[in-house]
Structure 1
Amino acid sequence: MRRVAHEPGYVLHHYDWSESSIIVEAFTRAHGRVALVAKGAKRPSSNFRSVLLPLQPLSLNWSGDGEIRTLKGAEWGGGEVMPTGDALLSGYYANELLLRLLAREDAHPRLFDAYAALVHVLATDRGEVLHAAALRAFELLLLRETGQLPALDLQTLTLTPVSAQGRYRLLAEAGVRAAHADDDAWLIGAHWQALAEAVQDEAPFVATLHAVAGLPGEARGHLRQQLRELLHYHCGIGTLRTRQLMMDLQALS
């Protein structure tokens, strides 16, 4: 029987398995997304109840060879407390993207590090601009790690470099192309070039975060719109559940 010990991970989601147990969808550094049954986790005396929380670094132990493994132990990895408010919703949004776009047992250690860095930003910084830039950086790296992000400094159909002052748009089925006159969201080539360089940096999350934060406000908004369209396309849905929840809460307020 395969055993894994002291594996860094995060809880993405959990759902009921039986009257006393739950299935945990976890994102781990060396094993990617895994499904773990936490037996007895709903009992008041279970040690899992206070540990298996989202957006918290964990050390996980499990065993088994099936599609769903058996969780043997979980310990809090230390660090920050759980994000709150809009930052918490942003974290749930990142979790939903991982659940929809990552196959099980497909390791992405660089993406795991980017996710951990995103959680750190959401938990420790209250700046809305930085939170938004961190989310855009994570979205870009998620798309790149899953092979769904075209080269941002090339026009996809012709493979010709973008011009620094030209206007370009990122589309799900066409990649990067010259913006049309009626396009309402685009970035100039210099911005795409900066983002292309950042996602390939040795420290990609930090570099991409700085690249996004350095964009003018209007360009950050255009990037957000284009990435949202691309992510929805690859997720195969019109609106993510967490996105709909955000819009509903904004409408109430």
Structure 2
Amino acid sequence: MATKRISDEPAFILHQYDWSESSLILETFTRHYGRVALVAKGAKKPTSNFRPVLLPLQPLRVTYTIAGEGHGEIHALKGAEWVGGHIMPMGDALLSGLYLNELLMRLLAREDTHAPLFDIYGGVVRVLASEHGEALEPVLRSFELVLLREIGLLPDLHAETTTLAPLAPDARYTLVAEGGLRAAAAGERSTLAGSHWIALHEALADDPNRFTATLRALMGAGIAGELKAQLRALLQYHCGSQLLRTRQLMMDLQSL
């Protein structure tokens, strides 16, 4: 049976679980191959070179082998190297990073390539590991929007979804799971002006770095809470009825 070797692939670890007394299954997010499952044999042994490297929210380069056709299978990890560049996020930043990982685990199909999403994810992780402050919310919303776009769940944001009528800049619109972007009802909460949706649409079609900057400016104009509520509701709908574990944990901590 032919074996293919993938070398020095940029990757992040999304989740890991026991495979045997000494080995782990890793769910990884790679730049060129999407979400890939790898078995790290012997990774739990005290002498394993993998132990200090296989951490979430850290940029890695991995080498692994694929046997046979390889689609949807668990591949064998042969090497992992920490790329470096930042420390592990802590506190709220760590929870935010685990939230991103849970979204990727729930919404990405195995081995479906999403290089733009990988790049946005890497940028968010760097912010999470820094003195992020007010930069955190814009990069999280950027990630959520790019994720929804990449997996085909984000409608065009310059027109009403059902009628295809162009948005009126001064009218209010809301993004809903089953109806896309529609005109807001009188008194409806969590809505944005047509001009804001159009700006988001244009920014999404532009360079990802400019998109984040545009989103930061829009959120500074007062759309942060409304946009967050709509995106979180849309993501929860597509993740299923069970509440995201990271969101439940955040809610539990806030109630203490």
State whether TM-score is above 0.5.
yes
Q: Identify the match of residue 144 of structure 1 among 145, 149, 159.
A: 149
Secondary structure of 1:64's counterpart equals strand
- Residues 75-95 of structure 1: per-residue CA shift (max 9 Å, x gap): 001211111111111000000
The equivalences for 1:172-183 within 5 A come to 172-183=177-188
Match of 1:211 in 2: 214
Q: Percent identity?
A: 58
Q: Give the Cα–Cα distance (whole angstroms) in 2 for the partners of residues 64 and 140 of structure 1.
A: 32
Q: Give the Cα–Cα distance (whole angstroms) in 1 for the partners of residues 114 and 53 of structure 2.
A: 24
Number of residues of Structure 1 aligned to a counterpart in Structure 2: 249
Q: Give the Cα–Cα distance (whole angstroms) in 1 for the partners of residues 221 and 202 of structure 2.
A: 20
My pick for the range that moved more, 210-219 or 170-179, is 210-219
Q: Give the Cα–Cα distance (whole angstroms) in 2 for the partners of residues 179 and 224 of structure 1.
A: 16
Q: Give the Cα–Cα distance (whole angstroms) in 2 for the partners of residues 76 and 91 of structure 1.
A: 18
The equivalences for 1:192-211 within 5 A come to 192-201=197-206, 203-204=207-208, 206-211=209-214
My pick for the range that moved more, 18-27 or 236-245, is 236-245
The RMSD of aligned alpha carbons is 1.1
Match of 1:52 in 2: 54
Q: Identify the match of residue 159 of structure 1 among 158, 164, 171.
A: 164
* Structure 1 stretches of 4+ moved >3 Å: none
Secondary structure of 1:4's counterpart equals strand
Residue segments in structure 2 that go unaligned for 5+ positions in a row:
none
Change (3 A) 1:163 1:238: farther
Q: Give the Cα–Cα distance (whole angstroms) in 2 for the partners of residues 208 and 229 of structure 1.
A: 22
Does the aligned pair in 2 maintain the 1:212–1:220 contact within 8 Å?
A: no
Secondary structure of 1:192's counterpart equals helix
User: Do structure 1's residue 190 and structure 2's residue 192 form an aligned pair?
Assistant: no
| Alpha-carbon distance, 1:56 to partner | 0.5
Q: Give the Cα–Cα distance (whole angstroms) in 1 for the partners of residues 153 and 252 of structure 2.
A: 29
Match of 1:98 in 2: 104
Q: Identify the match of residue 29 of structure 1 among 28, 31, 35.
A: 31
Match of 2:243 in 1: 239
| Alpha-carbon distance, 1:134 to partner | 0.6
| Alpha-carbon distance, 1:106 to partner | 0.5
Secondary structure of 1:2's counterpart equals strand
Match of 1:18 in 2: 20
Secondary structure of 1:191's counterpart equals helix
| Alpha-carbon distance, 1:126 to partner | 2.7
Residue segments in structure 1 that go unaligned for 5+ positions in a row:
none
